[in-house]
Amino acid sequence: MKPVIAVSALRKTYGAGDTAVHALRGVELTVLPGEYVAIMGASGSGKSTLLNMLGCLDVPTSGEYLLDGFSVADLNERQLSLLRNRKIGFIFQSFNLVPRTSALSNVELPLVYSGLRRGPRRARALAALEMVGLTDRAKHLPNELSGGQQQRVAVARALVTGPAMLLADEPTGNLDRASTAEVLGVFDRLNALGRTVVVITHEDEVAAHAHRVIRVDDGVIVADDRRRHVGVA
């Protein structure tokens, strides 16, 4: 099976000379379609930097990244934005919904940029909202929604274009227990439908949902457990 993510010798260095900070020091990683991966690690271990590279939000200092078989380094600005739009659904810890814009409009936004017309756009956005169980909140503004609801809107926005993978950076970091369960439930359902999911977390109960747990420390991968369930540490 063709990997959806294939990363080799990925490095990221901030600054230069004596003050240089090596966030990633040669990461090797392959993720196959349909996998549910949790990336764990202490803060400052480089896991967020890795996810930003995978989401094409940041560019590596060196190394190769093949997304669905395309070498990301060879792409220009325009092709990159197309990639972010069609192949990647990114979910942030702080939700990052566009303020003063209804839940429905937020979910529609990626489709606006992909050039879809109003009619089909609305239908797909409503379908995505239904998937996360927020059909009745479509007209609400982000500040009228709870944290869990906002994150579910963000999930709907991430999956509305039918991307190859969902990348989530500590999606439950700002949520209470009940909201966490809601969001993880959505991830499970999406993964069951065959969607690739990569989640960064430091909570074991989140990692417990994944099939595979990767541990990052000081810019390299130190453990890679392919398991159905991970025990409590």
Partner 1 sequence: MNFFEIMRFAVRGLTANKLRSALTTLGITIGVAAVILLVAVGNGASASIAASIQGLGTNVLNVSPQRGQSSAARPLTAQDAHALVDPVGAPDVKAASPVVTSSATATYGQTTYDISSVTGTEPAYFTTTNREVSDGSLFSTEDVTAARKVVVLGSTTAQSIFGTTEPVGKNVLLNSIQFTVVGVLQAKGTTGLQNADDVAIAPLSSVQNSLTGYGSLNQIAVQATTADSVSLAQAEVTAILNARHGIRLGGTADYQIQNSEQLLATRTSATDTFTVLLGAVAAISLLVGGIGVTNIMLVTVTERIREIGIRKAIGAPRSAILGQFLAEATMLSLFGGLLGVAIGVVGSEFTFAGITPVIVPSSIVLAFAVSALIGLFFGSYPANRAAALRPIDALRHE
**Residues found near partner 1 in the complex (CB under 8 A):** 52, 55-59, 77-78, 81-86, 90, 92, 96-101, 109-110, 112-115, 157-158, 161
Task: Give the nearest distance from C-beta 148 to partner 1 in angstroms.
Answer: 19
CA 174 to chain centre: 16
- Beta carbons of 158 and 150 less than 8 angstroms apart: no
Cα dihedral 25, 31, 35, 40 in deg (nearest 10): 0
Distance in angstroms (rounded) separating the CA atoms of residues 78 and 162: 19
Instruction: Considering the complex, state which of residue 98 and residue 192 has its C-beta at the smaller distance from partner 1.
Output: 98
Instruction: Considering the complex, state which of residue 121 and residue 209 has its C-beta at the smaller distance from partner 1.
Output: 121
Distance in angstroms (rounded) separating the CA atoms of residues 194 and 1: 14
Task: Give the nearest distance from C-beta 97 to partner 1 in angstroms.
Answer: 8
Task: Give the nearest distance from C-beta 83 to partner 1 in angstroms.
Answer: 8
Instruction: Considering the complex, state which of residue 157 and residue 209 has its C-beta at the smaller distance from partner 1.
Output: 157
Instruction: Considering the complex, state which of residue 83 and residue 184 has its C-beta at the smaller distance from partner 1.
Output: 83
**For the purposes of burial, counting CB atoms within 10 Å of the CB of 115, is it exposed (0-12), middle (13-18) or buried (19 or more)?**
exposed
Distance in angstroms (rounded) separating the CA atoms of residues 66 and 28: 12
Instruction: Considering the complex, state which of residue 58 and residue 218 has its C-beta at the smaller distance from partner 1.
Output: 58
Task: Give the nearest distance from C-beta 59 to partner 1 in angstroms.
Answer: 8
Q: What is the Cα gyration radius of the chain? A: 17
Task: Give the nearest distance from C-beta 52 to partner 1 in angstroms.
Answer: 5
